[in-house]
Amino acid sequence: MAKTALQFRHNGRDVAIFVDGGTNLLTALRDLVGDMTPKFGCGQGGCGACTVLIDGDAHLACLTLAETVEGHSVETLDGIKDGPNLHPLQRAFMEHFAAQCGYCTPGMLMAAKALLDHNASPSREEVVNAISGNICRCTGYEPIINAVLAAASGGRARA
Amino acid sequence: MLELRKDIFADERDDNLKEIGKGTQRQDMLGHVTGASTYFNDHKLQGMLHLKVLRSPHAHARIRRIDTAEAERSPGVRRIIRGADVPHNLNTLLSLINFGKDDEPTLAVDKVRYKGEPVIAVVADSPREAFEALAKVRIDYEPLPAVFDVEEALKAGAPVVNETYPKNTFTYYDVYDHQKLRFGDVERGFASADHVLEQRYQMSPIEHAPTETNGSIAAPDTNGRYVVYTSTQALFFSVDTCAKILDVPSNTFHFIGGTVGGGFGGKVDTLTEPLAILGAMLTGRPVRYIFEREEEMQYGPPRGAERIYLKDGVMRDGRIVARKVRAYFDSGAYTRLSSYAAVKCAAHLPGPYTIPNVYGDIYCVFTNRTPATAMRGFGVTAMDFAIECQMDKLAHLVGMDPMEFRILNAYRDGDMKAHRREAKNTALIECVQVAAEKAKWPLREEFKRMSSLKGGGGTRAAVPPTARDQPVPVRPAAQQRTTYDRAPQAAGPQPPHPPTPPPVAPAPAPQPAAHGAIRFSSVFGSRRR
C-alpha cells in the first residue's frame, strides 16, 4: 500500500512519519509516533477519549485524517507538563479526585485545556459545555467540573 | 470525621476508623493525570498481528458449512482460526470451582445461540486486512426458532437454546432446576393477611459500557511462556480459564493487568485472552485482540434482565406476614455467572426484613440473548429494586409512612432469617432513622425509639414448621445432551427409553441456598467491583 510522508509538530517537536491512506490521527499518534496518551474508546467520535489539540483547538483524533495535520501543531496530554512540573489542570484533577479508572482523563484534560487556553475564567456552564463530548463512566462528572473550575481560579489567582 | 456507631457495631471492631471521612490520594492518580498509566492496549510489540472475529448474524441457527478458502488467500492473513483449532472448545467459567457444566465454545462449531457469537477468527498483519478477510468468509446458516423471553423458554416445546441444559434452566446439584427457599407456610400467611398484593417487576439488560473496550495482547516470551496484557478484572480467573481452554498448565502464562479502563463487572468473562493467546501460539507472533465499540455494546455481556413476581400478605397494622417470590434470571445463551447470581438472590430473600413465612423459587434461564454476566451487585440489585418498590406499595396499601413501615418490619438482632441464620449486628432501623433525620422526614416518637438491639429474638428466633416439597421425579431430558463437535442427529423416532427405576429421592440438602452462597462468597466476595 502506498504510504504518504507526513510532518507535523508534536508537543513542540517536529516529527515525520509515513502513513497509509485513510490512517486516522489516533492510530498515527499511538502506533507511529508512539504517544500512548490519547486513548481509543469508540473510533466513532462518541466518547472523547482521543481528544487532542490541533493548533490549540480540541479535536477528536479518531475522526481526524492523519494527513490533514501536515504542517500543523498537535498537542497531547504527554506535552502539557512543564518539565517535571504538572500543569495546573493536572494538579487540580489530582486534588479533586477527578479520575477513577483514568481512561477518559487524557481526553478530559485536553478538552479542559482547550477551554482554559481560550477562556481563563469560565463559568460552570462553560466547563460543562467544554467537556460535553467526553464520556466518563466511573467518577461522575462533578469532581471533573470542580477540578477544571479550581484550575481556572488558581490560574487567575497567580496572574 | 465519621464515627462508627459502637452502640450497634460493638462486636464488629473495637478500634476507631482512621480513614473514613478524610481524603486519601489514590496511588495511581499521578499516572492517570500524566497519561503514564499503562493500559493493556498501550503496549506496542515488535511484529504485532491483529485478530478480528466473525460473529453470528443470527440469534439461533445451525451452521451447515464454513468456507474460508477465499479468506485464506486474502492479503496480510497469517492464520484463520476455527473451533476445531481450539484445544478444549467447551467451557463454563465457574468450572474452576467445580460448579456447572461446560456449555460454551470459544468459537461456535455446529450451532450459534445468540447474535454476535464468535464463529471464525482471523489473524492478519493489520486490522484492515483482518476485516477484509472476514468479509470473504462464507458461512451457510440454517436459522432456527429462537426464544427471547424467560417464561416462554420454560414452556413445553420451547426451542432448546443450549443442549447442555435441555430444559433451558441451569441445573443445581445435578437435580434442581431452580433455587428454592422455604420458610414457614406462605399460603397460611396469605389466608390470615388483611391485604395481599401481587406485582410483576421487569429489569432490562444493562451494558457496562466501559470507556476502554475489552481486549488483550498475547506474545510469545523468550522462555517458552506467553506474556498476556489484558483488560481483565479477574486476572487469576482468566489465567486458569485460558489454561483450561488451551489445555496447557497455567504457568505457561504471565498475565499482566490491573490497570483497567472501567469494568463494572463487564471484564470478568475472559472474552478475548484465549483467542489472543491461541493466535500467538499458532503464528509465533504477538497478537492483539480488542473489541470495537459496536462489539462491546452489542456482544459484550450485559447485566442480565430479571423478571420478578412478588406476592406479599400484610396486616392492617403494617406487619408483613408472608412473602412469596418467583424470579427468572435471563442468563442468555450460556451460563457465565448467572447461576451464581440466582444463588445470591435466593440467599438475599426476603430482603432485610423479618417475615415469618417466606417462599422463593429462583430460576436461571437460558434464552437466545447475549450471555449475561456480573454487574455491580448482580443477583441482589434487581431483587432489591423489586422488594423496595413493593415495600412502598404495601405501606401505601395499609396507610403507613414508608419509613415507619420499614422500621416496623426490619430485622433485629436475634431474629431468624429465612435461610436459617440468626441475624446479628443488624442496623436497618438505625439507618432509616438517620436517613429520616437527614432528610428532615418526620417519624413518630415510638419509631424514633425503636432499636435493632431491642425486640428481636424470642419467638422471632424460631424456625417455623416448614413443609418439604415433594421431590420431583427426574424425567428423562426432552433432548439428550449432545457432544459439541458432533453434528446433531437427524430428527426421527427416538429409540424407546428403557424403563428407568424410580429415582432415589435426593436427600435434600438442609440449607441449599445458604450453603451455596457461603461457598461462593469466599471466592468472589473481595473481588467483585
CATH of the domain at A134: 1.10.150.120
Surface of B (57-116) touching A: CB under 8 A: none
Same-domain check for residues A126 and A145:
yes
Query: Are B293 and A106 within 8 A, CB to CB?
Result: no
Q: What is the pLDDT of residue B486?
A: 37
User: Does a structural domain hold residue A17?
Assistant: yes
Largest Cα span, chain A = 54
**CB environment B233-270: b (16+ within 10 A), e (fewer):** bbeebbbbbbbbbbebeeebbebbbebbbbbbbbbbbb
pLDDT average, residue stretch B166-185: 95
Residue B473 confidence class, pLDDT cut points 50, 70, 90: low
ipTM comes to 0.96
Nearest-Cα distance to chain B for A159, in Å, is: 24
Same-domain check for residues A9 and A73:
yes
Q: How many structural domains is chain A composed of?
A: 2
User: Does a structural domain hold residue A51?
Assistant: yes
**End position of a domain, from candidates A43, A78, A113:** A78
Return the C-alpha cell found at B280: 500467538
Same-domain check for residues A16 and A57:
yes
Q: In chain B, what residues touch A30 (CB-CB under 8 Å)?
A: 44
Pick the range with the lowest mean pLDDT from B158-162, B178-182, B376-380, B515-519: B515-519
Residue B474 confidence class, pLDDT cut points 50, 70, 90: low
- What's the CATH architecture for B45-144+208-298? Alpha-Beta Complex (3.90)
pLDDT 10s digits, B421-465: 999 989 999 999 999 999 999 999 999 999 999 999 999 999 999
Same-domain check for residues A15 and A57:
yes
Same-domain check for residues A7 and A69:
yes
Output the average pLDDT for chain B. Answer: 90
C-alpha span between B451 and B433 (Å, rounded): 10
The full 3-state SS of B128-176, as one line of letters, equals: HHHHHHHCCCEEEEEECCCCCCHHHHCCCCCCCCCCCCCCCECCECCCE
Q: Which of B30, B33, B43, B264 to mutate to test the interface with A (most CBs of A within 10 A)?
A: B33
Return the C-alpha cell found at B515: 450453603
Same-domain check for residues A68 and A93:
no
Residue B512 confidence class, pLDDT cut points 50, 70, 90: very low
pLDDT 10s digits, B188-234: 999 999 999 999 999 999 999 999 999 999 999 999 999 999 999 99
Give φ, ψ of B410 to 5 degrees.
-60, 145
Q: In chain A, what residues touch B41 (CB-CB under 8 Å)?
A: 40
pLDDT average, residue stretch A95-105: 96
| CB-closest option in B26, B208, B211 to A103 | B211
**End position of a domain, from candidates A29, A45, A78:** A78
Does the CB of B131 have a partner CB in chain A at under 8 Å? no
Residue B526 confidence class, pLDDT cut points 50, 70, 90: very low
Q: What is the pLDDT of residue B2?
A: 65
Same-domain check for residues A8 and A71:
yes
CB B218 within 8 A of CB B121: no
Query: Are A41 and B260 within 8 A, CB to CB?
Result: no
User: Does a structural domain hold residue A83?
Assistant: no
3-class DSSP assignment, residue B55: strand
Pick the range with the lowest mean pLDDT from A145-149, B173-177, B194-198, B225-229: B173-177
Query: Are B34 and A86 within 8 A, CB to CB?
Result: yes
**End position of a domain, from candidates A27, A44, A78:** A78
pLDDT average, residue stretch A64-75: 98
pLDDT 10s digits, B241-250: 999 999 999 9
Q: Any long-range contacts for A58-65 (C-beta under 8 Å, 24+ apart)?
A: A58/A110, A58/A111, A58/A114, A58/A130, A59/A25, A60/A133, A61/A24, A61/A25, A61/A26, A61/A29, A62/A24, A62/A25, A62/A26, A63/A24, A64/A24, A64/A25, A64/A26, A65/A22, A65/A23, A65/A24, A65/A25
The contacts of residue B84 (CB under 8 Å, 6+ apart) are B109, B485
Q: What is the residue whose three cell numbers read 496530554?
A: A77
Share of chain B above pLDDT 70, in %: 88
3-state helix, strand, coil in chain A (%, to 5): 40, 20, 40
Return the C-alpha cell found at A91: 494538579
C-alpha span between B100 and B162 (Å, rounded): 13
Share of chain B above pLDDT 90, in %: 82
Output the average pLDDT for chain A. Answer: 94
C-alpha span between B92 and B330 (Å, rounded): 16
Domain hosting A50: range is: 3-78
pLDDT 10s digits, B487-505: 344 444 444 454 444 445 5
User: Does a structural domain hold residue A104?
Assistant: yes
CB A31 within 8 A of CB A62: no
Return the C-alpha cell found at A99: 479520575
3-class DSSP assignment, residue B527: coil
Residue B12 confidence class, pLDDT cut points 50, 70, 90: confident
Helix (H) or strand (E) holding B49: strand B49-55
Nearest by Cα to B64 from B170, B144, B184, B130: B144
Surface of B (251-290) touching A: CB under 8 A: 259-264, 290
**CB environment B2-40: b (16+ within 10 A), e (fewer):** eeeeeebeeeeeeeeeeeeeeeeeeebbebbbbbebebb
The contacts of residue B398 (CB under 8 Å, 6+ apart) are B194, B195, B314, B315, B316, B317, B318, B405
> Which residue ranges make up each domain of chain B?
45-144+208-298, 153-206+302-398+509-524
Which CATH code is given to the segment(s) B153-206+302-398+509-524? 3.30.365.10
